[in-house]
Amino acid sequence: MIEELEKYGVSKNYIDLLKSRGISELNPIQSEAVEKGVFSRVNMVVSAPTASGKTLIAEMALVKECMMGFKGVYLTPLRALANEKYDEFKALESIGLRIGISTGDYDQPAEYLGEYDLVIATYERFDSIQRLKPTWLGKTSLVVIDELHSVMDPDRGPVIEMIAARALKHGLRIIGLSATIGNPGDLAEWLNAVLVSSNWRPVKLIEGVYNKKETEIVFQDSRVEAVDVDEGDSVVNLALHNLKNNHQTLVFIHNRKKVEEYAQVVSQYTKTHSSRELSSVMEKLEEAPTRYERELLGGLIERGVGFHHAGLSHISRRVVEEAFRRRLLGIVFATPTLAAGVNLPARRVLVSIKRYDSTRGRRVNISVSEYKQMAGRAGRPRYDEVGEAIIIDASSVQEGFKYIHGPPEPVYGNLASDRGLRIHALSIIASQEARSIGELHGLLSKTFTAWQNPGSDLSSRVRDALRLLEDLKMVLVDGDYVRASRLGRLTSYTYLDPLSVSLFFKYKPKVYSEFYTLHLITLTPDFARSSSYIPEKTLALYEDLADSYQASNLTMPINTDYYSYDDWLTGFIHALALNDWINERSEDEIMRKYNLGPGDLYNMRDTASWIASSLGKIAGVMGEVEFNKKLLELSLRLEKGVKPDALELASLRYIGRVRARILIENGIKTLEDLAKTPRKKLSTLPTFGPRIAEEIQKQLRELGYKPIQ
């Protein structure tokens, strides 16, 4: 029973809170974690299926540490996950804990976070905090790394390795939460941790394979289920079959366009429905930034169908997730990003194990681990006795069962990549965690990459990284002694890739040019990590325009060692899209012109705004006053999507790019003008209304203005 936790020093208030959440006893994985020391000072790796209660294990440890006067940190790979965990952990405020969150502002030490007992952050944000060393970091005793299996990710993996290496060096306690992987023991041994590994699930999972020839599902428990729908496509047939049998379903497809197409096809077979609950969801969708989303997605949701992928805006994704949780949607078609993100279980999950590989020019099979991650979404606690995952496109039943019975692949470290080493070697030197090459090797030796490859010559790769950083004038090496230059420290603190900063100083124009600078930003390694895919037909469509811009010296040079021609052309199209954005073209127009999704646009905007701001700060310190001013303004314009004259108005909440332009067109050009505008007049302007007018005037009062009532 949950009351037994008192003997481990858990407060009665927390136990009562658990009871109020319907937790009367721990499940087998949680009980094993308690037995193996989750309330002691041991490090721990918990490897278990999706929805098996891993978060509660971490929560219990964090609560105990915080109640003892220490601080705890909970780390996630994505902002969306960080926000979800923040909402979840806010319940702990009822027992006196203060909960904070930080997911951006990489160059800020965030001393204010010292006010909180528990801080939720993304990997990258906490990595930057470790570099900047705010005072509260010294009071932190426990770091929880969620999705620890992401250590294999080429971009995020090295960040996890450095977070863990620093924690190991300073004696911080680590709890890692991982999906089922092939080598959890390796992760545990690396972290000097006890291992809690289990296949237990709160809802039993039964897996199966769709046999296209026989139009039937063959399950691992020997059941065979006939699919009696024949609409010419196996995915549509299975989807309609599930809806017919009232099985709420997630369908994972590795292609955004297919995801949308399947949702539209299936909606033709469903009926429109309405309810008060549906109306409240649809009201939230009205806040989506594009008509495309509001109309297409809205029409589908009314018919009980949805789709979900990274190309959607944050608002639309949240609406689909909420509608599915409320069981207003019978089926959602999604890309695998959903499986790795928010917690959204379904009665049945249909999984495609084939994806198109552009480098090979053909479809290839995904890994067993990827399949297991998606299959793990099957089964809704409290609703289902079983969850079912069905492979929908195996070449044969035998191939499908190889996935069902096959072990997940082991994970490996990725710190030895060129990018990983140049970024993290610089960060270690710039933060003065290492003043010699020997000390640098000492910290890097604590990474997963070094642990897995004890006999490899990582030192030669480190020497190569140091030579590059020397060439870029970011570090100074004198024998064994090493230190960062001012440029190196600034680069590390802004969290930029050294090559991004080098590209800027090598190719920035003599006189600031807005489009040229946008093109430069889109060609940095930092932008490339999160840039959206541009189809071949779109590249071909804009090639002549790109050539004409190049002839007029409005673009970056075509031939450099930093990027290929294809990268140059892709960056040109991204720059066009961002240029349209800051010149107030509508989201719908930008999507249509460049074949982008709203989520793509906002991701590009956020990344470009961060890069512009960081380069602007570096330029200022390095004496480039004009570029400092222009880049900081460009960063704000990218954030808001406005022309320069609308920046002041758009600084207020509830005044976005559309409302700012409406105000300007009505002669209201500054905050002072806004304060002189009567609330009644303000409320009659298009898209405003009484509530928005009241909120705007409230903000003006907070800023010291005296708005006219």
Buried b (16+ CB within 10 A) or exposed e, 477-508: beeeebbbbebbbbbbbbbbbbbbbbbbbeeb
CA–CA dist 3, 15 (Å, integer)? 7
Please report whether residue 236 resides in a domain.
yes
Q: How confident is the model at residue 275 (pLDDT cuts 50, 70, 90)?
A: confident
Same domain, 667 and 577: no
Of 143, 165, 197, which residue is a domain's last? 197
Residue-level pLDDT at 81 = 86
Chain centroid offset of residue 447 CA: 23
Q: What is the pLDDT of residues 494-511, one digit of tens each?
A: 999 999 999 999 999 999
Residue-level pLDDT at 17 = 94
Q: What is the pLDDT of residues 22-51, one digit of tens each?
A: 899 999 999 999 999 999 999 999 999 888
Please report whether residue 45 resides in a domain.
yes
Q: What is the pLDDT of residues 445-479, one digit of tens each?
A: 999 999 998 877 788 889 999 999 999 999 999 99
Q: How confident is the model at residue 341 (pLDDT cuts 50, 70, 90)?
A: low
CB neighbours (10 Å) of residue 702? Answer: 8
Same domain, 464 and 512: no
Q: What is the pLDDT of residues 235-249, one digit of tens each?
A: 999 999 999 999 999
The share of the chain scoring above pLDDT 90, in percent, equals 80
CA–CA dist 637, 456 (Å, integer)? 47
Q: Is the pLDDT of residue 311 over 90?
A: no
Contact 557, 617 (CB under 8 A): no
Contact 78, 148 (CB under 8 A): no
Q: How confident is the model at residue 61 (pLDDT cuts 50, 70, 90)?
A: very high
Question: What's the whole-number mean pLDDT along residues 478-490?
Answer: 95
Residue-level pLDDT at 468 = 96
Same domain, 398 and 278: yes
Same domain, 502 and 489: no
Same domain, 618 and 695: no
Same domain, 529 and 635: yes
CA–CA dist 417, 161 (Å, integer)? 13
Of 343, 372, 405, which residue is a domain's last? 405
Give the CATH number, domain containing residue 685: 1.10.150.20
Same domain, 274 and 357: yes
Same domain, 394 and 479: no
Q: What is the pLDDT of residues 87-105, one digit of tens each?
A: 999 999 999 999 999 987 7
Give the CATH number, domain containing residue 425: 1.10.10.10
Of 494, 519, 544, which residue is a domain's last? 494
334 forms bridges with which residues in the sheet? 252, 308
Same domain, 539 and 628: yes
Q: How confident is the model at residue 180 (pLDDT cuts 50, 70, 90)?
A: confident
Residue-level pLDDT at 471 = 95
Among the listed residues 22, 28, 18, 20, the one whose alpha carbon sits nearest the alpha carbon of residue 59: 18
Please report whether residue 412 resides in a domain.
no
Give the CATH number, domain containing residue 601: 1.10.3380.20
Give the CATH number, domain containing residue 329: 3.40.50.300
Residue-level pLDDT at 305 = 97
Q: What is the pLDDT of residues 343-378, one digit of tens each?
A: 788 999 999 999 887 777 778 899 999 999 999 999
Q: How confident is the model at residue 597 (pLDDT cuts 50, 70, 90)?
A: confident
Written in H, E and C, the secondary structure of 140-198 is EEEEEECCHHHHHCCCHHHHHHHHHHHHHHHCCEEEEEECCCCCHHHHHHHCCEEEEEC
The share of the chain scoring above pLDDT 70, in percent, equals 99
CA–CA dist 385, 364 (Å, integer)? 34
Same domain, 512 and 619: yes
As for how many domains the chain has, the answer is 5
Please report whether residue 269 resides in a domain.
yes
Among the listed residues 419, 560, 577, the one whose alpha carbon sits nearest the alpha carbon of residue 499: 419
Q: What is the pLDDT of residues 650-709, one digit of tens each?
A: 999 999 999 999 999 999 999 999 999 999 999 999 999 899 999 999 999 999 988 887
Please report whether residue 483 resides in a domain.
yes
Please report whether residue 209 resides in a domain.
yes
Residue-level pLDDT at 456 = 72
What is the SS3 assignment for 594? helix
Q: What is the pLDDT of residues 372-399, one digit of tens each?
A: 999 999 998 888 889 999 999 999 999 9
Please report whether residue 466 resides in a domain.
yes
Q: Which domain holds residue 598?
A: 498-641
* Average pLDDT of the chain to the nearest whole number: 93
CA–CA dist 697, 709 (Å, integer)? 9
Same domain, 627 and 674: no
Question: What's the whole-number mean pLDDT along residues 551-560?
Answer: 92
Question: What's the whole-number mean pLDDT along residues 620-647?
Answer: 96
Residue-level pLDDT at 609 = 96
Q: Is the pLDDT of residue 522 over 90?
A: yes
Length of the chain measured in residues: 709
Same domain, 39 and 55: yes
Q: Is the pLDDT of residue 576 over 70?
A: yes
CA–CA dist 183, 338 (Å, integer)? 24
Please report whether residue 542 resides in a domain.
yes
What is the SS3 assignment for 456? coil
